[in-house]
Amino acid sequence: ILGVRDIHADHAASHIGKAQGIVTCLRATPYHCTRQKVFLPMDICMLHGVSQEDFIRGKREKNVRDVIYDIASQAHIHLEHVR
């Protein structure tokens, strides 16, 4: 948009965009769950033994929190790449 033509800036913007997308998905999870929808990666959910129904019912057990933590950690990794 600003006419910046730098591969490093493009790389940083890519990682920032990925981090923002992950965080937006996490922040929207309670809203989507009230509408019976879960948009979280099922491979991570299955790794912790969590079903979509656990999110829809609003469970807050450790394994549900671990799923959120793992996904949020992916956003953090993208931010670390930018730094």
Q: What is the pLDDT of residues 28-55, one digit of tens each?
A: 999 999 999 999 999 999 999 999 999 9
pLDDT value for 3 = 75
Instruction: Please tell me the pTM assigned to this model.
Output: 0.85
Measuring CA to CA, which residue among 47, 44, 43, 50 is closest to residue 64?
50
Measuring CA to CA, which residue among 37, 35, 21, 34 is closest to residue 71?
21
Rounded Cα–Cα distance for residues 66 and 47 (Å): 10
CB 17 within 8 A of CB 78: no
List the domain boundaries for the chain.
7-81
- Record the tokens describing residue 76, joined without a space: 């953090």
